[in-house]
Structure 1
Amino acid sequence: MTIPGPVRRFLKWAGIALAVLLALCLAAVGALRLQFAGTPAAWAKSTGHDALWMGHAWVDGRKTAADVDRLAARIRQSGISDVYVHSGPFGADGTLPPDKYPNARNFLKWWQEKLPGVRVSAWLGQVVDEDVDGHVDLADPATRARIVAGAKALTDLGFDGVHYDFEPVPDGDPAFLSVLKETRRAVGGKLLSVATQQIEPLPGLRFPLRLVIGHEKYWTTGYFAQVAALTDQVAVMTYDSWTPLPSLYGGHVVRQAELAMDAAPPGTAVLIGAPAYHDHIVGLSDHAESVATAADGARLALTEHGPRAQFGMALYVDFAATEEDWKEYQTAWVRPGLPPAAGFPG
């Protein structure tokens, strides 16, 4: 059977594209494995600039003052200086009605009494589920105005800052930069923080992956630098890396941390998101990703880079974190190689 010319040409170019993609993947695997090698310096550990993502139950009435007491006992033995409390999501038109966070005032009062030195930011974003009408058009000025108004209402209520988490944001998207600029003007000196997408680990990986999954997974270092320059703090979501082995995930964290520290201005805090949850999108990631491996990768990156005034880890997320996750955070990052601090809940 003779294959028509157009089909032969298509198969030829498809084969070339697959070969290029395979070569890129193999190069990435080799590079990540090499990154996760060496011994971190003793000084490369938490300096008290860590963070914790916290669920919606804290502001909708399900959590009480007693719950704050229990979490406070754990946080006092940690390096956590910031928490991001889920207070949204925004509606599709950018609105954020107060009935999304009816217990926020009580929560902030309880928190201030128990942990006055730990900042509380309102974690705000959109509905990620594509089957739910939650997409927010950041390019629409009226939508952005409502987003900023919702964020300012929360800082006026008593939150120390705003932590944005819009997913996915295309690389180079000017609308997201506009959100950050407009929010800065509205909230003034309040903390402006962003959960960022991962940074393209090797040139050329972003485009083929976008074709496969249908949206941006990576930002270029240039766009990451633009976002970091407009904020006080960036938390790189290194989890859901799709790496099947701990050594590859560790290398992925090293690479992400190095790229982030090189791209972010010295005055912007860089946090490395650590997976304190166990329902990854890709099954093998449950085996590959852990708080301990993320901590090891962060320490190796910091050792290579040299001391950075504001660098830490951010644990995702409080309601899914197990005792093992908290123990790994203590023994791999807060007190590397030592038992958890005396009195640490466990």
Structure 2
Amino acid sequence: MFIQVVLALDYALYPLGETSAPKFDSAQNGVWLAFDFAQGKSKETPPHLAARMRDEGFKDLYFHVRYIGESGRLRYNIHQTARKFNAQLKVSDPKLRRFAWLYIGNERGITGVDIARPEIRARIVNECSNLISDGFDGIHLDYEICSDGDADFLTLLDDIGTRIQGHPLSVATPMWLPSPLGAYGWSEAYFTRVAARSDQIVVMAYDSALYFPRHYSWLIRQQCWRVPSAAKGTNCRVIIGVPSYEDGGPSHHLHSENLRVSLRAVREGLVDNPNANLVDGVALFADYSTKPSEWIVWRRDWR
């Protein structure tokens, strides 16, 4: 009974008070944004968006362009609207980096794309090249579900990197997890191989299925140490993705996985961290799911 009471109190009360860890914000944060912008259907104008992003400390903007179908081609043709939007946003603020956020789901994901097939990879590479021609500064690749050691994904990164050379290649990744959980997370060794082929790693540090805030905080701190350590010696920068959404299924427990807990854990994870200089900031998932109360937490606990 005593242990149950202790666990219940820890679940309910952690973390108490404010952290003594300093803020590490340098206004180089990232944020995932809705498909409406690239599709030309957003009610928010590019000048207003640029000002809002700048004021909130975001530099890298990941605009959803939907997903790659089984054929290896982009499911929706947004090239004309994307070109117009990118041109307008660039005029509004050329310092903001505009990434095309491209989802690719394998047989364990949603869309069943087989990147082991060379012809499929070639089509994906062509789509990435077309998106760069549409005015995006770089590609933000979200390949799910990518197991630790996936060699086909490394080949795809090589192919895309060669084609879009001179433009940043960003990768949304699973979290580092201990070796028995390689089907769901990555080892430091695999992070190193991905870092060698990309310009930016954005760790999706959520959907952990952890129900205790203390455990989730520990896992976030591990990302802050292990992923930059793995990227050391490469030209890859690291960003830690943090959650600001509610509906995420059984793997997302809102009491533990929330903006307050995650931002605190990132700050604590960067204290006395020899590789903290490789971490540019955090990425908010997502702009379209962040409530007014969460924006207050963002400004108070990170900015």
Q: What is the TM-score when the length of structure 1 is the normalising length?
A: 0.77
State the one-letter code of the partner of 1:320: S
SS in 1 for 2:169: strand
User: For the residues of structure 1 that align with 2:52 and 2:133, how far apart are their CA atoms?
Assistant: 28
Q: Tell me if structure 1 keeps the 8 A contact 2:109–2:144.
A: no
Q: Counterpart of 2:159? A: 182
Q: Counterpart of 2:65? A: 87
Q: Counterpart of 1:52? A: 31
More displaced, 269-278 or 280-289? 280-289
Q: Tell me if structure 2 keeps the 8 A contact 1:59–1:102.
A: no
Question: Deviation of residue 255 (structure 1)?
Answer: 1.1
| Structure 1, unpaired ranges of 5+ | 1-29, 208-215, 335-346
Change over 3 Å in CA distance of 1:131–1:233 after alignment to 2: closer
SS in 2 for 1:158: coil
Alpha-carbon displacement from aligned partner over 1:143-176 (angstroms, at most 9, x marks no partner): 0000000000111121100000011012111110
Q: Counterpart of 2:222? A: 255
The alignment's C-alpha RMSD in Å is 2.6
Q: Counterpart of 1:230? A: 197
1:290 has 2:269 as partner: no
Question: Deviation of residue 249 (structure 1)?
Answer: 1.7
Question: Deviation of residue 59 (structure 1)?
Answer: 1.3
Q: Counterpart of 2:295? A: 326
User: For the residues of structure 1 that align with 2:204 and 2:257, how far apart are their CA atoms?
Assistant: 12
Change over 3 Å in CA distance of 1:73–1:195 after alignment to 2: same
1:99 has 2:99 as partner: no
Question: Deviation of residue 100 (structure 1)?
Answer: 4.0
State the one-letter code of the partner of 2:66: G
User: For the residues of structure 2 that align with 1:157 and 1:283, how far apart are their CA atoms?
Assistant: 36
Q: Tell me if structure 1 keeps the 8 A contact 2:60–2:98.
A: yes
Taking the TM superposition and a 5 Å limit, the aligned residue runs for 1:172-211 are 172-200=149-177, 202-204=178-180, 206=181
State the one-letter code of the partner of 1:257: C
| Structure 2, unpaired ranges of 5+ | 1-9
Alpha-carbon displacement from aligned partner over 1:317-338 (angstroms, at most 9, x marks no partner): 111111122222211111xxxx
Q: Aligned pairs, how many?
A: 289
User: For the residues of structure 2 that align with 1:322 and 1:151, how far apart are their CA atoms?
Assistant: 32
Change over 3 Å in CA distance of 1:191–1:323 after alignment to 2: same
User: For the residues of structure 1 that align with 2:93 and 2:124, how far apart are their CA atoms?
Assistant: 28
Q: Tell me if structure 2 keeps the 8 A contact 1:274–1:313.
A: yes
User: For the residues of structure 2 that align with 1:142 and 1:131, how far apart are their CA atoms?
Assistant: 20
1:163 has 2:131 as partner: no
Change over 3 Å in CA distance of 1:280–1:304 after alignment to 2: farther
Q: Tell me if structure 2 keeps the 8 A contact 1:228–1:264.
A: yes
Q: Counterpart of 2:231? A: 264
User: For the residues of structure 1 that align with 2:106 and 2:93, how far apart are their CA atoms?
Assistant: 31
**Pairing partner for 1:304 from 239, 247, 272:** 272
Change over 3 Å in CA distance of 1:188–1:130 after alignment to 2: closer
State the one-letter code of the partner of 1:219: W
Q: Counterpart of 1:313? A: 282
Question: Deviation of residue 288 (structure 1)?
Answer: 1.1
Q: Tell me if structure 2 keeps the 8 A contact 1:54–1:83.
A: yes
Q: Counterpart of 2:49? A: 71
Change over 3 Å in CA distance of 1:226–1:129 after alignment to 2: closer
User: For the residues of structure 1 that align with 2:118 and 2:186, how far apart are their CA atoms?
Assistant: 23
1:61 has 2:40 as partner: yes
Question: Deviation of residue 236 (structure 1)?
Answer: 0.4
Change over 3 Å in CA distance of 1:46–1:128 after alignment to 2: farther
Alpha-carbon displacement from aligned partner over 1:162-214 (angstroms, at most 9, x marks no partner): 000011012111110011111111001101000001111x343x16xxxxxxx
Question: Deviation of residue 131 (structure 1)?
Answer: 9.6
User: For the residues of structure 2 that align with 1:292 and 1:92, how far apart are their CA atoms?
Assistant: 38
**Pairing partner for 1:218 from 185, 194, 210:** 185
User: For the residues of structure 2 that align with 1:251 and 1:157, how far apart are their CA atoms?
Assistant: 41
Change over 3 Å in CA distance of 1:40–1:195 after alignment to 2: farther
Alpha-carbon displacement from aligned partner over 1:211-268 (angstroms, at most 9, x marks no partner): xxxxx21111111111111111000001111111222222211112211111113531
Taking the TM superposition and a 5 Å limit, the aligned residue runs for 1:122-133 are 122-127=100-105
Q: Tell me if structure 1 keeps the 8 A contact 2:97–2:137.
A: yes
State the one-letter code of the partner of 1:103: T
Alpha-carbon displacement from aligned partner over 1:124-147 (angstroms, at most 9, x marks no partner): 122579796x21111110000000
1:136 has 2:104 as partner: no
User: For the residues of structure 2 that align with 1:279 and 1:128, how far apart are their CA atoms?
Assistant: 23
Change over 3 Å in CA distance of 1:255–1:170 after alignment to 2: same
